[in-house]
Structure 1
């Protein structure tokens, strides 16, 4: 049976129109006005497959995830030139940090730069500090270092932004920033890499039922979790014991990218 998260419902598909997210953060819902499954960020590319009653049925480009977003939350597709490589930034009305800010953009948001100076990048939506952007063809190389940008971020089920993130959202942001393809949910992420045995290595993935964490060194991991209600470092042995004690079972997989 096909996975409805990744396979568009043929009974719902009436079009196939390229578009992109036009708000800082948009919930990707299971049904119109339904629960949040994931989130999409400013500039994320997508295909609009149907529009009705103010909702668009879409499929995200970055991971193939299907769901519903408000129809006024997306616009015409452009070719991004840069992405936000800082934890977050602001988009200003002028090339001046004292000018009014128009919106807050999160890490991995994608933008199209029209002109670039030493201080600011101009886009059709406003000006972004140049230091907060990286060209699209320049990728990060260390997922654990990227994940550290989210330390202290509040835990949010289905979250994918610096405003709120969950375990699989953290892993996806870290891996996609390093040009490593990564699906949206932890059960799908368990197919990444290869099974690993022995000592833990930096950037290994550890899985429990419904949870994933990224190893930062042989004794430590980073994860967004509902126990701390935040993205935190935690000793691996402590995490394994705590998760078992709270009734969520043992480690179910150890994967090496």
Structure 2
């Protein structure tokens, strides 16, 4: 696919202002009425390149991905105070888990506190339990530990949240949390992330394996974790039989083995 970070659509330019995502998450689409390419989480910084009453044309600060989101999903810039540090979290109408929930968030969402009580942070979305948050950005963590938070998450093309992930979305979340820059698509990840290893190299935890249109994160000398359409969820499984199955099902052989 063409690189979605290049050659902005000239028909949708004319604005250049900072913004942030003010919905729990939002689809980022190649065209206003098109399918989802990726997703942006609450608090994600964007540059608004153009907009009308229905759609904003934005560039994501995280990976320079360009696309369309609903205009109402973009607010003014702000400084987040907390991050969602568990796979999923809810906001509630009041500072009680027995009140109705008002929003659901995924790991890595950025939120700004308005006030706090003993157990809750009040945000623009409602009250969120402190146990599900960390102050400031997500602390740098091991990529494998982050990826394992999403075991069992349903497969979703272009997904970046606990409700649905694809292979490159899982790897992007894991690597960025570990302090590595990482684009959003597997072909870009293959070109830009890590150093190539010769065919037949041993697998080490943290390595990346690529196929045409697919990527997995190595978790041990014999296992890997990936979001895949065969299982339709995030799984950790042995490398050798997974490679055989992928090849048998038409995915071909590993195209790159890379080490960060």
**TM-score with structure 2 setting the length:** 0.93
TM superposition shift of 1:140: 3.0
1:108 aligned to 2:108?
A: yes
Aligned partner of 2:255 in structure 1 is: 252
Aligned partners of 1:117 and 1:130 also within 8 Å: no
Please report the RMSD computed on the Cα atoms of aligned residues, expressed in angstroms.
1.6
Local SS of the residue matching 1:150: coil
Match among 232, 241, 245 for residue 244 of structure 2 = 241
TM superposition shift of 1:206: 0.5
Aligned partner of 2:119 in structure 1 is: 119
TM superposition shift of 1:141: 2.1
TM superposition shift of 1:116: 4.2
Q: Which residues in structure 2 correspond to 1:1-257 (within 5 Å)?
A: 3-137=3-137, 139-190=139-190, 191-197=192-198, 198-257=201-260
How far, CA to CA, are the matches of 1:7 and 1:186 in structure 2?
A: 19
Aligned partners of 1:19 and 1:77 also within 8 Å: yes
Aligned partners of 1:208 and 1:249 also within 8 Å: yes
Local SS of the residue matching 2:63: coil
Aligned partners of 1:38 and 1:158 also within 8 Å: yes
Deviations along 1:65-97, one digit per CA (max 9) or x if unpaired, are 000111111212211122111000001122211
How far, CA to CA, are the matches of 2:10 and 2:83 in structure 1?
A: 33
Aligned length: 256
Local SS of the residue matching 1:33: coil
Distance 1:70 1:137, change over 3 A: closer
Local SS of the residue matching 2:172: helix
Deviations along 1:154-211, one digit per CA (max 9) or x if unpaired, are 1001111001100000001111122221110001111211123421111111100000
How far, CA to CA, are the matches of 1:196 and 1:136 in structure 2?
A: 36
Moved more, 219-228 or 3-12: 3-12
Deviations along 1:229-253, one digit per CA (max 9) or x if unpaired, are 1000111001110111111111011
Moved over 3 A (4+): 2-7, 114-118
TM superposition shift of 1:129: 1.1
TM superposition shift of 1:113: 2.2
Structure 2 unaligned residues grouped into runs of 5+: none
How far, CA to CA, are the matches of 2:259 and 2:147 in structure 1?
A: 16
Aligned partners of 1:122 and 1:128 also within 8 Å: yes
How far, CA to CA, are the matches of 1:135 and 1:17 in structure 2?
A: 27
Moved more, 184-193 or 109-118: 109-118
Aligned partners of 1:8 and 1:59 also within 8 Å: no
How far, CA to CA, are the matches of 2:133 and 2:24 in structure 1?
A: 15
**TM-score with structure 1 setting the length:** 0.94
TM superposition shift of 1:7: 4.1
